[in-house]
């Protein structure tokens, strides 16, 4: 039968031993799913839309052709009429803060942004200097609230809008030392005793458990500025 005379490709024979020795092996590459192409250290966020109901501090918006960041917001549900959201937004080009009110069912635009990793190397007055880890190019950015928990050597993400740095995302969690705080009072424990204000090695002030002393290292969430744990 015809099927019995067919042979797999890798078992086809030739009458010439010399040709057999010259035949290159057939290698079948494994099947791989296509992956998005991106350069190392770069993440691009395409603009989209978002509802005011999904607001959170630090959210990026594009309004009248300019990038803004949500600083504060409040959901309001009046007894009559539609719900709305009051907000304070910071213009990331000028630094100015504006107050805006949005209907809860509005559709707002998010900007096209590019994030690139860079290392914070040093501060020069009110400017912070970052170095690209691939090109070693330096970028200077004016100090803002993102610098509150930033130590030299930290790897951050520079946020670009139309080719210009508009903000910096510090590491989400940092380990910092308490350099000043009220002394511990006998009887305070990890399970009780309340909290107290403590100044950290970057100058930031956070609330920490009352039993902690100066010299203690603590873990802090930079998104909220809150104490998370003691570092042993």
DSSP 21-70: HHPPPP-PPPP--------TTEEEE---EE-GGG--TT-EEEETTEEEEE
Domain with CATH 2.30.30.30 in the chain: 43-109
- The reported pLDDT for the residue numbered 63 is 92
DSSP assignment, residue 189? B
- The reported pLDDT for the residue numbered 202 is 93
- The reported pLDDT for the residue numbered 111 is 87
Q: Contact at 8 Å (CB) between 69 and 90?
A: yes
CA Rg, the chain, in Å?
Answer: 29
- The reported pLDDT for the residue numbered 38 is 43
DSSP assignment, residue 230? E
- The reported pLDDT for the residue numbered 46 is 62
Residue 87, classified by CB atoms within 10 Å of its CB into exposed (0-12), middle (13-18) or buried (19+), is buried
- The reported pLDDT for the residue numbered 228 is 94
pLDDT (tens digit per residue) in 168-206: 989 999 999 999 999 877 666 666 668 899 999 999 999
Domain with CATH 2.40.50.140 in the chain: 114-169, 173-231
Residue tagged 């970028």 (tokens): 139
> Which of 3.40.50.620, 3.40.47.10, 2.30.30.30, 3.20.20.70 would CATH assign to domain 43-109?
2.30.30.30
- The reported pLDDT for the residue numbered 103 is 92
The CATH number assigned to the domain with range 173-231 reads 2.40.50.140
Q: Contact at 8 Å (CB) between 157 and 168?
A: yes
Residues of the chain with confidence (pLDDT) below 50: 1-21, 26-40
Structure tokens at 115: 């994030």
The fold adopted by the segment(s) 114-169 is OB fold (Dihydrolipoamide Acetyltransferase, E2P) (2.40.50)
- The reported pLDDT for the residue numbered 191 is 63
DSSP assignment, residue 204? -
Record the pTM.
0.65
């Amino acid at each position: 039968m015809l099927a019995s005379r067919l042979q797999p490709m890798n078992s086809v024979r030739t009458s010439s031993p010399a040709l057999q020795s010259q035949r290159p092996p057939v290698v079948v590459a494994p099947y791989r799913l296509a992956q998005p192409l991106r350069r190392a250290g770069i993440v691009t966020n395409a603009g989209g839309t978002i509802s005011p109901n999904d607001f959170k501090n630090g959210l990026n918006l594009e309004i009248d052709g300019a990038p803004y960041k949500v600083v504060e917001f409040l959901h309001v549900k009046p007894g009559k009429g539609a719900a709305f959201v009051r907000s304070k937004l910071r213009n990331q080009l000028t630094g100015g803060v504006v107050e805006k009110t949005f209907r809860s069912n509005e559709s707002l635009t998010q900007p096209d942004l590019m994030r690139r990793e860079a290392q914070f190397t040093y501060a020069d007055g009110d400017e912070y200097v970052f170095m690209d880890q691939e090109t070693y190019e330096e970028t200077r950015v004016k100090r803002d609230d993102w610098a509150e928990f930033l130590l030299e050597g930290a790897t951050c993400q520079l946020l670009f809008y139309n080719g210009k740095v508009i903000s910096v995302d510090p590491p989400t969690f940092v380990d910092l030392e308490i350099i000043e705080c009220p002394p511990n009072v006998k009887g305070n424990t990890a399970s009780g005793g309340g909290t107290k204000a403590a100044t950290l090695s970057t100058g930031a002030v956070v609330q920490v458990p009352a039993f902690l002393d100066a010299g203690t290292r603590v873990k802090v969430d930079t998104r909220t500025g809150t104490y998370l744990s003691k570092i042993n």
